[in-house]
């Protein structure tokens, strides 16, 4: 079964996204903080990460590199945030994030993207 | 007019009772201000918190950290959720273990250091900026200056944004700290605002809240405030720092800068280039009150039991604290009088005054717990629950302990 | 009257006071945080969006506040409920009624809180009129009041902005929220008003989307007496990559040294070279100002570094 990790500063964002993604039939885990998110990612194997935390990708932790070096395939990473400035977006892509989406999200569009991503993974 | 011993005791008790009532009144004002700040913070953070809706030219912040940092500590400092900030780390890299590894890890390249603002800064050896876009917010200054003020001045020269937040290396900001500080700075148009970082290594959450309540209430003369339990976080406007000629070497260069820009009673303004229909006369800026510069929130934490230099001045008003030993001597005098004198002739007066002191202790402890609850709501911090409740029940005993034990001097 | 008859009642009074305070504290602390109930309310709203079944109207003020907060946060994160559905929810659960009443009667923060929550609820004309009659002093309340009025009457943007006030630092927030609400901002009409707030909004839009078509209007804003408008116009010109000419230098001549330094740093941040700012240098050198050659000195801080910040 596919596993999706959600990590957002706002508990309502995490709750609403888990409700939207609940229809996909994947197992959804919610991390309470950025630190908990990183610990979960290193401890287990996930198909997809949806997060609103930018700092783990831009603080020198090289999170994506560390995930890539493991034997298990790294999760696809979607960052979802209210931020829209070009500098932040380019920095995220440079650090290995796969996709950036901005709030407010359209649930059908999100479902389509996530479903496509999950089906394209081995 | 001669006074008998009981009248003297009563008079002393009356003075002390008035003093504690005044402190309680300040505490109530303080918790009122904290409540207002917390409500405003909740409004800001509920609406998406950090976003790039603001303008980076006015809302960009340069955080200056002076002192050695480990790689892990540097990572934590780069984990603030704010779009427009840079981190200027100023340190003598020879004294930092693993400095070479940090420079390599963040893909730093050496650049020229060319001061352009005329501030006194000595000791800069090298300046590094990152080649990688995602680490561009990090700037490293290898500085061997002897004084912290010189380090701050170097950072002011290099800073790319118009707001400056100087910190020492023991302070860590909370993720939403910059959002709230910048909002306070922009909404109040002062040359600086001050918030606070809590040191929970040396004090529990209720002690921290009690300290903040007193500061927010404009108090702090005879009470134990400042020092190790909470540390001020000053957000300056870079232009004002330059206009004042930079930071001055002293025990507390940040406090000195805050006082010089606040108590001048006027803005230091230079004349326009030439007369124009668009020019306006330099305004005389009135000295701001305590509430206007103060953001009574805990926006960070101090990660060490030792904050370094003790602050002997109130970070908001700039007034010196009365030494705590004065209060301790006074309390010992009272205790001696109470234990030695009979009360047959003035029982009601004595009991009322003792009752006022008792009730004041309870109210102060309650106010501190209320403040701790409010502050926990904002940053999702620790709830006081049982600790707070016992503090209220036993508050007169805690009060006596706080006064008498000598280690409480400017803690 | 002996000591005991005085002492005992006093002790009882003190213990009573302490007990009341403790009870209040215990209730407050025992309630804990509201995250779980917010999650449950969010789930109910989600079911309303997917199944169409309205949640039961909240019975207490606290439950109503939670529902309003959940709806606000949900709307900021997901385009889940249409304006019609939100309007229906607000009406049937009495959210709109109570929030408007609190906005009218509450203190500064209560009004701001109510207006913030109302900003995601479409209003009828009556409620919009009542909101229009408010004149809050708190800047955040002013922001949300404007947002509500403009979203209610998007064809009257210029009129609404002309009759309102908002601190300049909140104008970017207003523009971003109007963009989220898909409100079309008529820049030409706003420039034509020649009033402070409409101009600030128009200049922000021009800067944000780099609308070069409005360059002449932006230059026109440089001649206005308001310092905030002039600074916003300079920001917009810097974003547009406009050539620094006599008009820009003239606009800064009325500024103080600190402000002129701020303007030069603004252009430098947008990537201007020292050569592009040579007119500034000449003007500063002509008056013997310390800002002569400032741009070149600042840029040398980035020498040997090809990165543009």
Non-local (6+) Cβ contacts of C149 within 8 A are: C128, C131, C132, C160, C164
The pLDDT of residue C231 is 92
Cα gap C20→B363, rounded to integer Å: 11
Q: What residues have CB less than 8 Å from B98, skipping those under 6 apart?
A: B70, B71
Q: Angle, nearest 10°, between helix axes C3-31 and B385-393? A: 170
Lowest mean pLDDT among B40-44, B71-75, B376-380: B376-380
How far apart CA B47 and CA C117 sit, in angstroms, is 10
Residues of chain C with C-beta less than 8 angstroms from the C-beta of B129: 302, 305, 307
Taking contacts as CB-CB distances below 8 angstroms, the residues of chain A near C39 are 11-12, 15
Q: Is A16–C75 a contact, with Cβ atoms under 8 angstroms apart?
A: no
User: In angstroms, what CA-CA distances link B152 with B24, B252, B376?
Assistant: 38, 12, 32
The pLDDT of residue B410 is above 50: no
Domain shared by C205 and C227, yes or no: yes
Structure-model confidence comparison of residues C160 and B116, the more confident one: C160
Please give the radius of gyration of chain A, using alpha carbons only, rounded to the nearest integer: 13
The whole-angstrom separation of Cα B64 and Cα C9 is 58
Question: CA C41, CA C57: separation in Å to the nearest integer?
Answer: 12
What mean pLDDT is predicted for residues A11-31? Answer: 91
Task: Based on the fold, state whether residues C269 and C234 are members of the same structural domain.
Answer: no
B165-185 in b/e form (b: 16+ CB < 10 A) is bbbbbbbbbbbbbbbbbbbbb
pLDDT at residue C306 in the model: 45
Q: Which stretch, B208-212, B347-351, C213-217, C297-301, has highest mean pLDDT?
A: C213-217
Q: Is C5 inside a domain boundary?
A: no
Answer yes or no: do C179 and C216 share one domain. Answer: yes
Out of B43, B115, B278, whose CB is closest to C254?
Answer: B278
- Is-contact B88 B63, C-beta < 8 A? yes
- The token duo for B355 is 């009752």
On the question of pLDDT at B49 being above 60, the answer is no
CB of B19 closer than 8 Å to CB of B340: no
Q: Mind giving me the DSSP string for B269-328? A: -PPPSS--TT--PPPPPPPPPHHHHEEEEEEEEE-SS--SSPP-B-TTT-PBPPPHHHHH
Query: Which residues partner with B294 through β-bridges?
Result: B194
Residue B386 has a pLDDT of: 61
User: Which tokens go with C265?
Assistant: 């740093």
Among B114-128, B139-153, B344-358, C276-290, whose mean pLDDT is lowest? Answer: B344-358
Residue C196: domain span: 153-242
- Give the nearest partner residue to B78 out of A60, A88, A95, using CB atoms: A60
pLDDT above 50 for C307? no
What pLDDT score does B277 carry?
Answer: 44
Verify whether the Cβ–Cβ distance C78 to A15 is below 8 Å.
Answer: no
Question: Going by C-beta distance under 8 Å and a sequence separation of 6 or more, which residues neighbour residue B303?
Answer: B170, B171, B172, B201
Looking at residues B97-106, what average pLDDT do you find?
91
Specify the pLDDT at position B307.
53
Test the A interface: residue of B77, B79, B161, B176 with most A CBs within 10 Å = B79
Does the residue C128 lie in any domain? yes
| Chain A residues whose beta carbon lies within 8 Å of the beta carbon of residue C75 | 104
For residue C15, what pLDDT is reported?
Answer: 72
Instruction: Examine residue C263 and state whether it is found in any structural domain, yes or no.
Output: yes
Q: Which of C35, C77, C180 sits opposite A16 (nearest CB)?
A: C77
Residue A53 forms contact with B (CB below 8 Å):
yes
The ipTM is 0.89
Residue C8 has pLDDT above 70, yes or no: no
- How far lies B192's CA from each of B96, B275, B316, C228, in Å? 31, 29, 10, 20
d(C-alpha C25, C-alpha C178), whole Å: 42
User: Would you say residue C278 lies in a domain?
Assistant: yes
For residue C119, give every residue at least 6 positions away whose Cβ sits within 8 Å of its Cβ, in sequence order, or none.
C72, C144, C147, C148, C151, C177
Q: What is the mean pLDDT of chain C?
A: 87
Inter-chain residue contact A103 with C76, CB threshold 8 Å: yes
pLDDT confidence tier of residue C197, bands split at 50, 70 and 90: very high
Q: Is residue C241's pLDDT more than 90?
A: yes
Q: How confident is the model at residue C69 (pLDDT cuts 50, 70, 90)?
A: very high
Does C79 sit within 8 Å of A107, measured CB to CB?
yes
- When the pLDDT of each residue in chain B is averaged and rounded to a whole number, the result is 78
- Other CB atoms within 10 A of residue B86 CB: 19
Work out the average pLDDT over C8-27.
71
pLDDT of residue B208: 85
pLDDT of residue B2: 57
Name the residue among B105, B136, B175 with its Cβ closest to that of A60.
B105
The span from the CA of C73 to the CA of C94, in Å, is 18
Q: What CA–CA distance (Å, rounded) separates B353 from B359? A: 10
If one counts the domains in chain C, the total is 3
> Are residues C117 and C161 both part of a single domain?
no
Q: Which residues in chain A (75-114) have CB-CB distances under 8 A to chain B? A: 82-85, 87-88, 90-92, 94-95, 103
Query: What's the pLDDT at C192?
Result: 94
- The closest CB to that of C297, out of B51, B116, B279, belongs to B116
Residue B384's pLDDT is what? 57
**Within a domain: residue C77?**
no
Q: Is residue C267 part of a domain?
A: yes
Residue with tokens 């508050």: B395
Element (H, E) at B64: strand B61-66
Of the residues B206, B236, B273, B280, the best mutation for testing chain C's interface (the one with the most C CB atoms within 10 Å of its CB) is: B273
CA-wise closest residue to C99 among C117, C77, C73, C86: C117
Rg over CA atoms, chain C:
27
**Residue B102: what pLDDT?**
92
Report the C-alpha gap between B52 and C189 in whole angstroms: 26
Q: Alpha carbon of B113 to those of B127, B130, B284, C224: distances in Å?
A: 6, 15, 36, 39
Question: What is residue B61's predicted lDDT score, i.e. its pLDDT?
Answer: 94
Q: Express each pLDDT in C80-101 by its tens digit.
A: 899 999 999 999 999 999 999 9
Binary contact (B129, C307; C-beta < 8 A): yes
- CATH superfamily placement of domain A3-120: Response regulator (3.40.50.2300)
Torsion sign across C-alpha atoms B158, B163, B169, B174: negative
Q: For A81-113, give one letter per residue: b (16+ CB within 10 A) or e.
A: bbbbeebbbebbbebbbbebeebebebeebeeb
pLDDT of residue B265: 41
Q: Span B102-110, mean pLDDT?
A: 92
Q: Higher pLDDT residue, C177 or C33?
A: C177
Hey, what are A93's tokens?
A: 């892509």
| The pLDDT of residue B19 | 80
Residue (of B15, B375, A33) closest to A41 by Cα position:
A33
How far apart (Å, rounded) are the C-alpha atoms in residues C94 and C130? Answer: 16
Q: Residue with structure tokens 């309310």?
A: C41
> Is B279 within 8 Å of C254 when comparing Cβ atoms?
yes
Q: What is the DSSP letter of B406?
A: G
pLDDT, tens digit, for every residue of B250-280? 878 898 888 888 754 444 444 455 444 444 4
Q: Mean pLDDT over all residues of chain A?
A: 89
CB-based contact C80 A103, cutoff 8 Å: no
Q: Which residues have a Cβ under 8 Å from the Cβ of B57 and sit 6 or more positions away?
A: B162, C235, C266, C269
Say if CB B222 and CB B331 are below 8 A apart: no
Q: Residue C2 falls within a domain, yes or no?
A: no
Reduced to 3 states (helix: H, G, I; strand: E, B; else coil), residue A54 is coil
Residue of B nearest to A95 (CA): B134
**For residue B292, what pLDDT is reported?**
74
For residues C267 and C186, membership in a common domain is answered with no
The sheet carrying B124-130 orders its strands as B108-111, B124-130, B138-143, B85-91, B61-66, B163-168, B230-237, B192-198, B294-302, B171-173
- Nearest chain C residue to B127 by CA distance is C301
d(Cα C139, Cα C129) in Å, to the nearest integer?
A: 20
* Predicted local distance difference test score (pLDDT) of residue C30: 58
Asked whether the beta carbons of residue A11 and residue C180 sit closer than 8 angstroms, the reply is no
d(CA A58, nearest CA chain C) in Å: 16
Whether residue B341 is predicted with pLDDT greater than 70 in this model: the reply is no
Q: What is the 3-state secondary structure (H, E, C) of chain C?
A: CCHHHHHHHHHHHHHHHHHHHHHHHHHHHHHCCCHHHHHHHHHHHHHHHHHCCCCCCCCCHHHHHHHHHHHHHHHHHECCCCHHHHHHHHHHCCHHHHHHHHHHHCCHHHHHHHHHHHCCCCCCHHHHHHHHCCCCCCHHHHHHHHHHHHHHCHHHHHHHHHCCCCCHHHHHHHHHHHHHCCCCCCHHHHHHHCCHHHHHHHHHHHHHHCCHHHHHHHHHHCCCCCHHHHHHHHHHHHHHCCCCCHHHHHHHHCCCHHHHHHHHHHHHHCCCCCCCCHHHHHHHHHCCCCCCCHHHHHHHHHCCCCCCC
Q: Does B59 touch chain C (CB under 8 A)?
A: yes
Do B110 and C304 make contact, defined as CB atoms within 8 angstroms? yes
Q: Is A56 helix (H, G, I), strand (E, B) or coil?
A: helix
Contact B393, C22 (CB under 8 A): yes
pLDDT digits (tens, 9 = 90+) for B284-331: 444 455 567 889 999 998 887 665 545 566 766 666 666 666 666 766
- Give B279→chain C minimum CA distance, Å: 4
Per-residue burial over B118-148, b if 16 or more Cβ lie within 10 Å, else e, is ebbbebbeebbbbebbbbbbbbbbbbebebb
Among B389, B119, B231, B51, which residue's Cα sits nearest to residue C26? Answer: B389
Count the residues in chain C: 309
Rounded Cα–Cα distance for residues B293 and B287 (Å): 10
Q: Residue C124 falls within a domain, yes or no?
A: yes
Pairing verdict, β A48-51 and A27-31: unpaired
| The pair of three-digit structure tokens given for residue C232, joined into one six-digit string | 């916003």
For residue B181, report the phi and psi dihedrals to the nearest 5 degrees: -65, -45
Average pLDDT over residues A71-97: 87
Residue with tokens 């540390």: B231
Predicted pLDDT of residue B273: 53
Query: Residue B398 phi/psi, 5° resolution?
Result: -60, -40
* Stretch B37-60: mean pLDDT: 78
- For chain B, the residues whose C-beta falls within 8 A of a C-beta of chain A are 48-53, 56, 71, 74-76, 78-81, 83-84, 105-106, 132-138, 175
Mutation choice for C interface testing from B33, B57, B180, B242 by most C CBs within 10 A: B57
pLDDT computed for residue C291 by the predictor? 86
Of the candidates C242, C264, C284, which is a domain's last residue?
C242
In a shared domain, residues C248 and C234: no
């Amino acid at each position: 079964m596919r596993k999706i990790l959600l990590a957002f500063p706002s508990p309502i964002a995490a709750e609403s996204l888990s409700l939207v993604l609940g229809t996909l039939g994947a197992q959804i885990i919610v991390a309470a903080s950025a630190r908990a998110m990183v610990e979960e990612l290193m401890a287990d194997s996930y198909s997809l990460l949806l997060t609103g935390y930018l700092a783990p990708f831009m603080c020198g932790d090289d999170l994506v590199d560390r995930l890539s070096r493991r034997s298990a395939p790294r999760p696809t990473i979607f960052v979802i945030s209210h931020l829209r400035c070009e500098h932040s977006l380019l920095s995220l892509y440079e650090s290995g994030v796969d996709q950036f989406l901005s709030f407010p999200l359209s649930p059908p569009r999100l479902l389509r993207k996530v479903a496509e991503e999950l089906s394209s993974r081995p | 007019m001669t006074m008998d011993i009981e009248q003297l005791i009563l008079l002393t008790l009356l003075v002390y009772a008035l003093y504690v009532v005044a402190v309680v009144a300040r505490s109530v004002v303080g918790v009122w201000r904290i409540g207002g700040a917390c409500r405003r913070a909740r409004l800001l953070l509920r609406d998406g918190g950090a976003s790039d809706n603001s303008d980076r030219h006015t809302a960009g912040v340069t955080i200056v950290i002076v002192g050695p940092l480990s790689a892990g500590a540097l990572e934590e400092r780069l984990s603030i959720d704010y779009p427009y900030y840079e981190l200027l780390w100023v340190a003598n890299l020879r004294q930092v273990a693993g400095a070479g590894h940090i420079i390599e890890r963040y893909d730093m390249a050496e650049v020229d250091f060319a001061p352009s603002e005329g501030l006194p800064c000595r000791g800069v050896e090298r300046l590094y900026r990152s080649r990688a876009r995602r680490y561009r917010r990090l700037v490293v200054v290898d500085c061997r200056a002897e004084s912290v003020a010189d380090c701050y001045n170097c950072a002011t020269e290099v800073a790319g944004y118009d707001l400056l937040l100087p910190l020492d290396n023991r302070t860590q900001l909370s993720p939403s700290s910059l959002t709230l500080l910048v909002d306070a700075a922009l909404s109040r148009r002062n040359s600086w605002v001050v918030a606070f970082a809590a040191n929970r290594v040396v004090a529990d959450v209720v002690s921290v809240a009690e300290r903040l309540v007193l500061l927010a209430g404009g108090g702090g003369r005879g009470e134990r405030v400042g020092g190790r339990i909470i540390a001020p976080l000053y957000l300056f406007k870079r232009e004002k720092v330059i206009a004042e000629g930079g930071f001055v070497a002293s025990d507390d260069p940040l406090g000195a800068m805050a006082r010089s820009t606040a108590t001048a009673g006027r803005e230091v303004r230079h004349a326009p280039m030439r007369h124009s229909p668009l020019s306006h006369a330099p305004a005389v800026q009135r000295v701001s009150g305590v509430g206007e510069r103060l953001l009574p929130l805990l926006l960070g934490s101090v990660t060490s039991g030792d904050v370094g230099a003790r602050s002997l001045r109130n970070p908001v008003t700039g007034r010196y604290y009365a030494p705590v030993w004065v209060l301790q001597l006074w309390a010992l005098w009272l205790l001696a009088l109470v234990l030695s004198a009979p009360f047959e002739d003035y029982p009601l007066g004595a009991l009322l005054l003792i009752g006022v002191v008792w009730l004041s202790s309870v109210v102060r402890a309650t106010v501190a717990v209320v403040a701790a609850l409010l502050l926990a709501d904002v940053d999702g911090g620790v709830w006081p629950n049982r600790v707070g409740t016992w503090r209220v029940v036993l508050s007169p005993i805690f009060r006596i302990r706080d006064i008498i034990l000598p280690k409480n001097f400017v803690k | 009257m002996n000591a005991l008859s005085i002492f005992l009642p006093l002790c009882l009074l003190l213990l009573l006071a302490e007990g009341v305070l403790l009870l209040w504290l215990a209730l407050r602390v025992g309630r804990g945080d509201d995250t779980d109930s917010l999650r449950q309310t969010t789930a109910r709203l989600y079911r309303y969006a997917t199944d169409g079944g309205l949640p039961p109207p909240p019975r207490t003020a606290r439950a109503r506040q939670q529902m309003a907060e959940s709806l606000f946060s949900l709307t900021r994160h997901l385009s889940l409920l249409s304006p019609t559905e939100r309007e229906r929810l607000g009406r049937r659960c009495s959210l709109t009624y109570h929030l408007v009443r609190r906005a009218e009667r509450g203190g500064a923060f209560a009004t701001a809180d109510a207006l913030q929550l109302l900003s995601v609820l479409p209003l009828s004309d009556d409620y919009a009129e009542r909101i229009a009659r408010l004149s809050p002093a708190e800047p955040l309340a002013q922001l949300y009041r404007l947002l509500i009025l403009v979203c209610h009457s998007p064809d009257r943007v210029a009129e609404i902005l002309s009759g309102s006030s908002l601190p300049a630092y909140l104008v970017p927030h207003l523009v971003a929220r109007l963009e989220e609400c898909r409100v079309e901002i008529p820049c030409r009409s706003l420039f034509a008003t020649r009033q402070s707030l409409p101009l600030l909004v128009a200049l922000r839009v021009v800067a944000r989307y780099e609308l070069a078509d409005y360059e002449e209007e932006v230059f026109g804003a440089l001649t206005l007496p308001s310092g905030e408008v002039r600074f916003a116009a300079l920001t917009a010109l810097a974003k547009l990559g406009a050539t620094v000419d006599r008009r820009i230098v003239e606009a800064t001549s009325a500024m103080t040294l600190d402000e002129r330094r701020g303007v030069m740093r603004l252009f430098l941040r947008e990537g201007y070279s020292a050569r592009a700012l040579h007119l500034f240098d000449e003007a500063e050198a002509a008056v013997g100002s310390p800002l002569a050659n400032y741009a070149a000195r600042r840029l040398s801080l980035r020498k040997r570094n090809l990165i543009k910040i």
